[in-house]
Structure 1
Amino acid sequence: MCQDSTLRAVCVAGPSDSGKTSLVEELVSRLGADGRVATVKSIHHEVEIDTPGTDTHRHRTAGAETVVGITPELTFDIATRGKRNPHEPDGDALLESDDREIRALSRGLERLARRGYDTVLVEGFAQSPLPTILVGERDPSAVGGPVIGRGDDSIDDLVGTIRSLEGLEFSHAGTPTDETDC
C-alpha cells in the first residue's frame, strides 16, 4: 500500500558535455549510502527504448498505456505518456506548472515518491523549480529553481547540501494508485 512520503529532488543543469552525467554518477554513489536514490534524465530527441518485435514492444504498440518488463536482473516500465502527452494536472502535483515538460517531470517524481525513494537527481529539466546544481558555464538566471551549488564545488559540500534539503511532500490521499505506481 502506498503511503504519504517526502522526496528530496535536485536538478543538475548545464550545457551538453559539461560533466552533468559524471557528477550525477558521483552523487548517486555517495547519496546511496543514505537511502534509495533514483535518477531522471531529460532526453530531447526520440529514442526507442523497447526493441521492436519483442513481446513488451508488441504489448505497447497494441495499446497498453504501461508495460512492465521483469528480467532475471532488472524490472522496467514503459509508459506512453512522455513530455508531449503528460497526464493533466490533478491539483496534487509536486511541481505545479502549465508547461508539459514540467508536468511530465512532476508525474515521474510522484511515481518515485510512491515507490519510496528518498532522493532523486534530475539531469536536465533546467526550467523546473527544483533546487539546482549548475555545471559548466550557465548563468543562474537560465534555470527555474534556486541554485544550491556548482559542478566545481567539492563533492562533500554538494552531498551535504542535498542531504540538508527539505523534501517535497506528496500526499497520496485521493490519488488513484495501483501496484505499478507504488
Structure 2
Amino acid sequence: MCQGSRLRVVCLAGPSDAGKTSLVERLVPRLAETGRVATVKSIHHDIEIDTPGTDTHRHRTAGAETVVGVTPALTFEVTTRGKRNPPDPDDAESLLESDDPEIRALTSSLERLARCGYDTVIVEGFADAPLPTVLVGDRDASAVGGTVVGRGDDPIDELVETIRGLDKLDASTDIAEHPSDEPTE
C-alpha cells in the first residue's frame, strides 16, 4: 500500500541531446543501491504509449481516465490527465498555488510516488520546476527554476553523493509552496 510522504527529488535540465537520459541511466542503478528510485520524464509532444486495438487502449478510448495494465513482468498506468489537463491536487493548498499546468502535473506525479514509498525521484526535463537541479550540456543556471546542485559532467560518484545528501521534500507541499532560490553555479 502506498503511504509514504517524503522523497528526495532532483531535476536534470539541459537542451535536447545533451545527455540527460544517459546520465539518468548512470544515476539510477547507483541510487537504487540504497533505496527505491523512480523517474519522471517531461515529453513535449504527444505520443501513443498504448498500442491501438489492445484491450487497455480500448478501455482508455471508451472513457476510462486511468487504465492499469498488469503483465507477468510489468505493471503500467496510462492516465488521460497530462500537462494540458493535470489531475486535481491531493492537497488543494499545494497545487493551486501554481498556475503552470506542467508544474501541477509534475507535482501530482511526485505526490503519487511519495505515497508509494519511493526514496529518490530523478526528473528529466521540467527545467522550470523549483527543484534541486543538475545542469546537463550548455544550459545556463539562470534558465532553470531550481537551485543548481551539480553539472552533468561532474564525476558520477560526486553526483550520487550530492543527490543522496539532498533534503527530502514533503511532496504535497514543498514543491509547489516554496519558490526556488536564486540559481547558483
TM-score by length of 1: 0.89
Match of 2:108 in 1: 107
Secondary structure of 2:34's aligned partner: coil
Secondary structure of 1:93's aligned partner: helix
Equivalent positions of 1:36-115 (< 5 A) are 36-89=36-89, 90-93=91-94, 96-115=97-116
Give per-residue Cα distances to partners, 1:6-52, cap 9 Å, x unaligned.
11010000001111001011000100001100001000010000001
Distance 1:108 1:93 in 2: 13
Distance 1:77 1:171 in 2: 21
Answer with 136-145 or 82-91: which moved more: 82-91
TM-score by length of 2: 0.88
Match of 1:135 in 2: 136
Match of 1:20 in 2: 20
Say if 2:12 and 2:135, in contact at 8 Å, map to a contact too.
yes
1:4 Cα offset (Å): 4.2
Match of 1:122 in 2: 123
Distance 2:78 2:2 in 1: 20
Say if 2:107 and 2:171, in contact at 8 Å, map to a contact too.
no
Say if 2:150 and 2:159, in contact at 8 Å, map to a contact too.
yes
Match of 2:9 in 1: 9
Distance 1:118 1:62 in 2: 35
Distance 2:29 2:151 in 1: 18
Distance 2:94 2:159 in 1: 27
1:95 Cα offset (Å): 9.4
Structure 1 residue identity aligned to 2:147: P
Structure 2 residue identity aligned to 1:157: E
Answer with 56-65 or 89-98: which moved more: 89-98
Q: How many residues align?
A: 172
Distance 1:62 1:48 in 2: 16
Secondary structure of 1:32's aligned partner: helix
Distance 1:43 1:4 in 2: 27
Answer with 33-42 or 94-103: which moved more: 94-103
Structure 1 residue identity aligned to 2:145: G
Distance 1:158 1:134 in 2: 11
Say if 2:5 and 2:111, in contact at 8 Å, map to a contact too.
no
Distance 2:171 2:129 in 1: 17
Equivalent positions of 1:161-176 (< 5 A) are 161-170=162-171
Structure 2 residue identity aligned to 1:102: I
1:87 Cα offset (Å): 2.0
- Structure 1 residues 29, 109: closer, same or farther in 2, change over 3 A? same
Structure 2 residue identity aligned to 1:12: L
1:97 Cα offset (Å): 1.6
